[in-house]
Amino acid sequence: MIRQVCIGAVIVIVSAAVRADAPPKLLRDAKRLFGLSDYKGALRILERLVAKEPPPDVRVQAEVYRGLCHVRLDNKGAAREAFRRVVTLDPEAGPDKRRVGPEAFAVFEEARASVVGGLRVMLGPRVDVYVCVDGRRRRVIGWFNDDRIPVGRRKVEACDRDGRPIGIVQEVVVRANATAVVRLAVPLPPSAKVRVASTPAGASIEVGGRATGLVTKFGEAVEVEIPPDQQVDVVLRLAGYADARIPVVIGAGKKVDVSRTLEKLAAATPTVVVDPTVRPRGDKKSEAGVAVVKPTAEVRVTRLRAKSPLTTWAFVVGGVSVASLAAGVVFAVLGKSLEDDLNAYARCANRGGTAAECGGWTKSEYEARYARASGRLTAATVFFALSGAAAGGAGLLFYLGRKGGVERRAAVPAVRISANGVQAEFAF
């Protein structure tokens, strides 16, 4: 009986000791000391509690109080580290601003902003919209992906250029070292349509200053989508006709027919002035001239000459000059190479070297090489002289060909209308 009583007493004592050192008990003791402003004592208990690896909810509360204790002790660096651990464990956890005061809550917000996670937003079926996170417009793409979103609960929505929501708003929890995925169903906007026709057909259609790539058709209206509930200019353009600008305002989901008869542009009469400084040759009153003039523009007509055969021969002789020059360069290089070899042999022989030491040439071989070198250098000189003479002849022929060109003696004045204006030919 006594043995059983002793065993029971030991169990009770051990259980009491275990309960006294249990995480919930340690957390309550730390909170009590924090309420008594014993921040250092609370920190010692909280460090014992964290060392025991408590459950996540207890660990989050312990880190919150560790951060608050460091704020009270004016150790904001350690406070930020504790608050970072809080939002890493639970992005939605944190102190109550009304209870801890603005200073401690500001340190917590600064720490939470430095802990980031990833957010990916996929849009459909409409993709030409902006993604707004917590009311802030981010970007406009088919899908949104950002790895620098502060942790916590975020409101994600599709919005327009001014930040107004489009479609359903979703909330998502962004966690540290993870990527949250959100799919937003963005409805397509209701469109307004205008049916465009023109007389004559074939006019290009522009909407709001942008080309649509469409043209009007004969006997059939072309349907074009425009933004609803706003004024849009529909412009019809056709070569030779004045542009037709039609302001249109259409409600969403409605259609309007627009038709215009294009006004043809009146052809203007060009003014041509013959240059009085052009002097006639012989008994001719004037010489031929060609001018391209636009309506209402004044153009002076100058002399026009046909190409002379002498000019063609000038280019032929010039080609001969260039070929001769190239041949002279080749022969000069080859002759100079042999001449260098002969000079080296002569220097060696003058120093008293034997035939074997100086290249092993016999007298007949030396003379043959000397004759070849002389012949090549002579040929180079001849080709250089020929090149110079041909160049002079080409220049003379070119000058004579330009000065004495063949004249166009007779022509009938004519005027031709082109896309760039009026082309007028005169020959008197």
Residues 106 and 44 in one domain: yes
Q: Give the range with max mean pLDDT: 181-190, 323-332, 354-363.
A: 323-332
Query: Is residue 111 predicted with pLDDT exceeding 90?
Result: yes
Identify which has the larger pLDDT, 274 or 250.
250
What is the reported pLDDT for 427? 43
Residues 9 and 103 in one domain: yes
Residues 139 and 40 in one domain: no
Query: Is residue 71 predicted with pLDDT exceeding 50?
Result: yes
What is the reported pLDDT for 414? 43
**Cα(48)–Cα(199) distance, integer angstroms:** 90
**Cα(288)–Cα(148) distance, integer angstroms:** 77
Identify which has the larger pLDDT, 53 or 427.
53
pLDDT tens across 287-307, in order?
Answer: 444 444 444 444 444 444 555
Domain membership of residue 320 (yes or no) is yes
Of 81-85, 147-151, 203-207, where does mean pLDDT reach its minimum? 147-151
CA angle 131, 135, 140 (to 5 degrees): 20
Domain membership of residue 53 (yes or no) is yes
**Inter-CA distances, 217 with 200, 237, 259, 324, 388, Å:** 9, 13, 11, 67, 69
Query: Is residue 347 predicted with pLDDT exceeding 90?
Result: no
**Cα(23)–Cα(18) distance, integer angstroms:** 10
Those residues with Cβ within 8 angstroms of residue 409's Cβ, 6 or more apart along the chain or in another chain: 284
Residues 302 and 419 in one domain: yes
**Cα(173)–Cα(153) distance, integer angstroms:** 4
**What is the rounded (10 degree) CA torsion for 237, 238, 243, 248?**
-40
Domain membership of residue 266 (yes or no) is no
Closest by Cα among 316, 305, 322, 306 to 397: 316
* Chain Cα centroid distance, residue 17: 71
What is the reported pLDDT for 269? 54
pLDDT tens across 270-291, in order?
Answer: 555 544 444 444 444 444 444 4
Residues 58 and 100 in one domain: yes
Judged by DSSP in three states, 204 sits in strand
Residues 144 and 77 in one domain: no
- For the entire predicted model, the pTM comes to 0.44
CA angle 324, 309, 285 (to 5 degrees): 145
Q: Which residues pair with 182 in a beta bridge?
A: 121
Domain that holds residue 284: 271-306+415-426
Residues 44 and 90 in one domain: yes
CATH number where 144 lies: 2.60.40.10
Query: Is residue 333 predicted with pLDDT exceeding 80?
Result: yes
Average pLDDT over residues 400-407: 62
Residues 292 and 421 in one domain: yes
What is the reported pLDDT for 413? 43
* Tokens 């002790």, located at residue: 73
Q: Reading across the β-sheet that carries 192-199, which strands appear in turn?
A: 222-226, 192-199, 255-261
